[in-house]
Chains A and B, each alone.
Chain A
Amino acid sequence: MKLQLIANELRKDVIWMCHRGKSAHLGTNLSAADIVTILYKKILRVKPKSPNWPDRDRFIVSKGHGAAIIYAALAHKGFFPKGWLKTYYKNNGKLAGHVTKLDVPGVEFSTGALGHGLPIACGVALAGKRDKKKYRVFALLSDGELDEGSNWEAILFAPQHKLDNLTAIVDYNKIQSLDFVKKTLNLEPLKAKLKAFNWEVREIDGHNHNQILKTLKSVPFKKGKPSFIIAHTIKGKGVSFMENTVKWHYANTDEVLLAQALKELSSKKK
């Protein structure tokens, strides 16, 4: 299956999961869909039948509220049965509304509170370096969570320890919980900031599969330096009425909007 098709299938899973579970965070799951698809399909060295394989690449999802797309990708990859997705956000279900490890193969860390993933990723990367392991560490962050000071502690740490086995990706969809990022706490100039902190930085279109793939394949961008990918994305990407709106951080679909969203995603088959 072509990557674009897979990404759209995962988006449809997300739409269904959030609809059935009446859960929030549609917009952020859709903005990350292309990055997550390519990570699992083309980049991450993981073994679904052996999820704790010691040499696996680690993917740490710091934006734990983007859980639905992660679960959809894990199910697609074969970490657990696709049927589990129907239990997302349900009482006594298998899958929680934030990325949660409890008996879910493929999840590295339980997250949900923001600003936790990058320090953790630094620790995993440092241990890998000291053990001379080949595994790489990828951390997915939201733009809103860059408000958290803990990230900037980690942003100081990683270059200090030359963690070139670490790649941070920010899903820069420009909208946080209540408002646009630039109206809340402007991150710009983000690239210049990260460069000034001694990261090697690339800016990409986070929905352009060729760019995502090429960029992720070329990490580390520079030996001895951690890599940062600023992925410009559109919140709610793929469903016209959700795109670039604050509302769809929290809103749920009714039957009519569900049908419309699924129809839009099904018509995108190239």
Chain B
Amino acid sequence: MRNAFIKILEEEAAKNKDIYFLTGDLGYSVIENYQAKFPKQFLNVGVAEQDLAGIAAGIASTGKIVFMYSLGNFPTIRCLEQVRNDVCYNNLNVKVVTVGGGLHYGALASTHHATEDLAIMRALPNITVVAPGDRAEAELATRAIIRHKGPCYLRLSTENELYKKRPKFKIGEAITVRKGSDVTIISIGGMLKVALDAAEMLKNNKINARVISMHTLKPLDARTILKAARETKCIITIEEHTLMGGLGSAVAEVLAKNGGRVRIQMLGIPDMFSKKIGDRDFLRAHFGLTPQNVAAAARRLMTKGK
């Protein structure tokens, strides 16, 4: 998705001199072309994330649209207070962009797993939190956050092409990627592919699964969640993220308030650091973030209470 992001950013930066791209000394093999084409709209602040966020806020205060880019945890929780105060409290047009959301950097281990970022960022006032589900969504999300005034968090992860036809993308409006009436699988970010593959498996069991890409975690599309609850009665959430405070929690908050009778199962990473070492797919399987496990959970949920 990072290639999709930088491609769109280059297109937009060519048209808009107010776009600035700041990095905390990361982006090897991704950012070079942008840097060469737009040296005046580029800045590598060094390995200094607190500075990165403060500088981004300072530049944004002069009327610019400032992207600050790094790996999952670095421009978010390393400099959380700067993001909270300098960016969100002062309500500036800064876009925090991370790559490698979730378990992407698998064997590099937990320092490089971004698995609490969504919960933490969504707790900040004024910020919009977006985690696109594939390449097309990433492109559309990049354009959307440029046009959206105010702080944004864009979490990029696995590169996938999942749409045959370009979807309609609006911040805060979930995309129903697959229609279905028996069970709903709501995914965020790179889990969209797992959700779609699970739905395909469920078809063999004559189960018609709806798949929703919840690309915007905040503001959350409560209407689409409630509609799914009404129509399918069973909801599964899946996220490459801790179960504490992310997509599952956010969906449960909506359902607890006004969801009526609905069964919900949240899939994600339990409240722990990984004790296993391995690549992304290995760790995803270890934590049950596989189509097989999602399909099994759907079957269990549908028979529960019947």
Partner-B contacts on A (CB < 8 A)? 54, 101, 108-113, 115-116, 118-128, 130-131, 149-150, 153-154, 156-157, 160
Contact = CB atoms under 8 A, between A and B. Distances in A.
A38 B45 CA distance: 33
B43 interface: yes
Nearest to A148: B50
B51 A126 contact: no
A171 B1 CA distance: 47
Contact of B43 (A112, A126, A153): A126
Per DSSP, chain A at the interface is helix
B58 A126 contact: yes
A108 B82 CA distance: 16
Interface stretch (B84-92, B150-158, B265-273): B84-92
Interface stretch (B59-67, B163-171, B188-196, B286-294): B59-67
B61 A116 contact: no
Nearest to B64: A127
A123 B58 contact: yes
A153 B51 contact: yes
14 contacts: A116-B54, A119-B51, A119-B86, A121-B58, A123-B54, A123-B61, A130-B40, A150-B82, A153-B48, A154-B54, A156-B46, A157-B45, A157-B48, A157-B55
Contact of B85 (A113, A122, A124): A113
Contacts of B89: 110
Given A110-B85, A112-B85, A123 B48 contact: no
Nearest to A123: B58
Contact of A157 (B51, B59, B62): B51
Contact of A115 (B50, B55, B61): B50
A122 B43 CA distance: 12
B255 interface: no
Nearest to B60: A123
Nearest to A118: B54
A123 B50 contact: no
Interface residues of B, number: 25
B56 interface: yes
A109 B61 contact: yes
Interface in B54-81: 54-64, 81
A150 B90 CA distance: 18
A122 B51 contact: yes
A54 B86 CA distance: 20
A236 B46 CA distance: 39
B174 interface: no
Contacts of A111: 85
A234 B48 CA distance: 33
A127 B59 contact: yes
A119 B59 CA distance: 10
B61 A113 contact: no
A18 to B, nearest CB: 23
B189 to A, nearest CB: 29
A59 to B, nearest CB: 13
A90 B140 CA distance: 46
Contacts of A157: 45-46, 48, 51, 55
A125 B90 CA distance: 18
A127 B94 CA distance: 14
Nearest to A154: B51
B283 interface: no
A109 B82 CA distance: 12
Nearest to A122: B55
